[in-house]
Amino acid sequence: MISLEVRVARRLTQLPPYLFVEIDRKKREAAARGVDIINLGIGDPDLPTPEPIIQALEAGASRSANHRYPDSEGLGSFRRACAEWYARRFGVTLDPEREVLTLIGAKEGIGHLPLALVDPGDVVLIPDPAYPVYQAGTVFAGGEPYFLPLRRENGFLPDLEAIPEAVLRRAKLIFANYPNNPTGAVAPREFYPRLVEFAARHGIIVAQDNTYSEIAYDGYRPPSFLEVPGAKEVGIEFHSLSKTFNMTGWRIGFVVGHAGVVDALRRVKSNLDSGAFNAVQEAGITALANAEAIAARNSAIYQERRDLLIAGLRSVGLSVESPRATFYVWPTVPEGYTSASFVSLLIEQTGIVCTPGNGFGRQGEGYVRFALTAGRDRLRVAVERMKGALERQA
């Protein structure tokens, strides 16, 4: 039998290998050798979904009306719950009919957004380092990524005024993400008015990824981009129930803001997917109704883990700042290592899985990302193993 040679689309060749595929390969190899794996790589909460949310899903799944196709824009009741939560949490007023759209997780919406807004040859401004889907969605839409360096000395904020005028004339969209994945950085409140003014001046749409706003420490309350006057006239904000409510596998999120942008994304989605399962949306209503208590409980757990891991990393000689939000820690690698070589050392000699910083972009070289997705006892073991491995290399 003749085997057909598959020639993939050129757009696939423009993307680096998806970050976690190679890490998973190394992890499987180590596990096959009998290594006890401590997975601090992917940002997947180890905490269970709260029971009231599970009960709401069970009740919704038992209703036969929910077994049919959902509406592509999402249940009106879920969109109203999103708007009510935004009003309660951020003081932002939203029209649930025009300014809120249900997503099959924020990743799906972020990936589809460039298809709604970007024509081939348009420029998309993307932070570096960043969540890889910003680049992937841009490439799939035929857009041209232009990377904005995020550096520690600048608080991991982009220098908007350093973007060349020739780039700005072609720019259609800018992605922002605070609290930030992978760095854990937060944006000062004065950054958002500058971003709004910049977008309005250059006619660029802002897409702010606010996925991590509900994982914060030491009393810090991350704001919404939409709190700034004029923000809803220039952009949108993505949110997800995945990290806040330990629902990564449920695939439910939403986007809010500029009605025209929300509608454009709705039109793309109506052609490419059939919406989120209604029972999951109904469970999401329960999650949002209990958001404050759940977020406070999770943040307290992650803060204890953050403090333990930060102290441990510093004790073995790594330079690291303590994040005010997200469940990520972003240390520099030891002298003599690259991001990839340090990750390989940890997986092969200690069973610790973390993520190389350069997988998030060129500016991530020299860093690794740890996710606080293991309990305190496992984090203590991880620190001891890391200490032993580095001592053996000395």
User: What CATH number did the domain enclosing 347 receive?
Assistant: 3.90.1150.10
Between residues 34 and 178, the one the model is more confident about: 178
1 domain-assigned: no
361 domain-assigned: yes
Same domain, 72 and 37: no
Quote the number of domains for the chain: 2
The pLDDT score that the predictor gives to residue 20 is 67
Same domain, 223 and 328: no
Q: pLDDT tens, 304-321?
A: 999 999 999 999 999 999
What does the DSSP assignment read for 197-221?
HHHHHHT-EEEEE-TTTT-B-TT--
Same domain, 301 and 244: no
- The answer to whether the beta carbons of residues 54 and 290 sit under 8 Å apart is no
Same domain, 221 and 321: no
Same domain, 276 and 376: no
188 preceded by a cis bond (ω within 30 of 0): no
53 domain-assigned: no
Same domain, 76 and 151: yes
% of the chain with per-residue pLDDT over 70:
99
Structural domain range at position 39:
10-48+293-393
Same domain, 385 and 366: yes
Same domain, 81 and 150: yes
Same domain, 370 and 329: yes
Domain end point (choices 232, 266, 291) = 291
Q: Among candidates 147, 186, 153, which has minimal Cα distance to 167? A: 147
- Per the structure block, which two tokens stand in for 2? 């003749």
What 3-state DSSP class applies to 113? helix
Residue 166 sits in a domain of what CATH number? Answer: 3.40.640.10
Q: pLDDT tens, 189-241?
A: 999 999 999 999 999 999 999 999 999 999 999 999 999 999 999 999 999 99
Other CB atoms closer than 10 Å to residue 47's CB: what's the count? 14
Quote the pTM value.
Answer: 0.96
Same domain, 274 and 375: no
Q: How far is the C-alpha of 111 from the C-alpha of 299, rounded, in Å?
A: 28
